[in-house]
Amino acid sequence: MAWSGYAAYSLTKFGVNGFTESLRQEVTQRHVRVGVLEPGGVETELGSHHRPEIRGEMIDPFYEVLAPEDIADGVAYMVTRPRHTSVGELWIMPTDQA
């Protein structure tokens, strides 16, 4: 999802998605699995880099955020699937994130 005030972030996120899917298609015949994990709100320092009005509108409304361990669990899930299974995209969101 793109948000006002997050142009550079959106550029990189959309770019990584496109790159990942292209790479997945290019190497699939070699049995290489490629996937992208897209987290929702995670407890990081990202919010501290914004002006207070942006933080108040975009970040502070999250009642609950994910812990870094939640994301690590998602990565572990992706890489431990059987060889014939590929998780191309995984979204992990806090339950209350719209």
Q: Which residues are catalytic?
A: 9
Pairing of strands 89-92, 36-39: parallel
Tokens for 38, please give them: 């897209």
d(CA 21, CA 23) in angstroms, rounded, equals 5
List the one residue out of 52, 11, 19, 56 whose CA is nearest residue 35.
19
**Per the structure block, which two tokens stand in for 83?**
């060889």
The beta strands (E) that lie in the chain are given as 36-39, 89-92
